[in-house]
Copies of this chain bind each other. A is one copy, B any other.
Amino acid sequence: MLMIPGPTPVPEQVLLAMAKHPMGHRSGEFSALMAEVTEKLKWLHQTQNDVLILAASGTGAMEAGIINFLRRGDRVLVGNNGKFGERWGKLARTYGLAVQEITAEWGQPLHPEDFKAALEADIDKQIKAVIVTHSETSTGVLNDLETINRHVKAHGDALIIVDAVTSLGACSVPVDEWGLDVVASGSQKGYMIPPGLAFVSVSEKAWSAYATADLPRFYLDLGPYRKDGAKHTTPFTPPVNLFFALQAALTMMQAEGLGAIFERHDRQRRATRAAITALNLPLFGGDAWASPAITAVMPDQVDAEQVRSVMKKRFDIALAGGQDHLKGKIFRIGHLGFVCDRDILTAIAALEATLQHLGYGPYTPGAGVSAAGQILLA
């Protein structure tokens, strides 16, 4: 039972779709499939922009989202309040971009005011892009993309490039309404399919920047994906079985509806956090900026790794650990994608039993399930 922020649980009908025999990718059948999933991806992204499909992890999509639209030496403003924000800074430096970081402590959100100040100070419009991780998977923090993006729009020149890997499909990312230029995501998250596909949506403004971008790229060059995508085909052999899975998953998502999907994630986030609080376990990060995908817990009277170990060995529930300096200090409960209310109760009940087994004192047995149940059944 996967309660990690990816790979997330995969529905049976998606697994079975993936087990179909592959088809040739230079065929009418594949083009029909590609046309269908592309339309459905636009629905999920709430956009009329191109949404391109890569065979890569989410990092491949982010790299494509950065290197296709910038020139060597360009100044970029990178939000960094966790492992993924840190990664985009590294990536941008690798390509010779001049990185200006806006930082916040891990577990804290990025402050939109810091972006405002940096962008307002940029009178001669040297900042060509602002790169933001929407849901910071390493800490469970949801950054305030809407406000940060408003400051980017006030700047007028810079592109907004978004890592929506664990936010897309969990909460609303209205690409057209907000005018998000580049949005990257990956299949093993809100999409409910196994890893191996990544997605990038690209605005007209970003395509204008593409025309003069000069960073070297080939496999991740989005131009051919756009050109071939217009004919419902791909520049390189696509992972056709993952396309079958994508088709099945997006069909399920459309049946549930965007509003219902977001409401479910919000409900499960609130239920999880209420249960953790009721168990007297310290949440890592405040409610006001809590990701709908993942809840991080920093226990002080029980060992985080012991909790994970018992949950895994005795109940076959995989929780995520901390990364880098948070290793061993936090555990993270994923509630992203194909997760039902029963799964939340299951995880909390198993956590209670685990805490009891580990001799954790300061809680009332049943308090977690009770708190979660009240919210789930409200």
Contacts and interface: CB of A to CB of B under 8 A. Distances in A.
Interface in A254-283: none
Interface string A94-115: 1110000000000000000000
A193 to B, nearest CB: 9
B55 A240 contact: no
B216 A59 contact: no
A215 B67 CA distance: 14
- The bracket for how many chain A residues form the interface is 35 or more
Given A96-B216, A216-B95, A60 B236 contact: yes
Interface in A1-50: 2, 4, 6-7, 9-10, 15-16, 18-27
Nearest to A24: B318
Between A24, A26, A95, A96, the greatest number of chain B beta carbons within 10 A of the residue's beta carbon is seen for: A24
Contacts of A219: 56-57, 59-60, 63, 220
A19 to B, nearest CB: 4
Nearest to A57: B236
A195 interface: yes
Q: Is the interface of A mostly helix, strand, loop or mixed?
A: loop
A242 interface: yes
B22 A240 contact: no
A190 interface: no
Contacts of A242: 194, 196, 239
Contact of A7 (B19, B24, B94): B24
Contacts of A56: 55-56, 60, 219
28 contacts: A4-B26, A6-B237, A7-B22, A7-B23, A7-B24, A7-B25, A7-B240, A15-B19, A15-B20, A22-B188, A22-B194, A22-B195, A26-B320, A26-B321, A55-B56, A55-B57, A55-B196, A57-B219, A58-B236, A59-B219, A60-B219, A60-B236, A63-B218, A96-B216, A195-B240, A195-B241, A219-B220, A239-B239
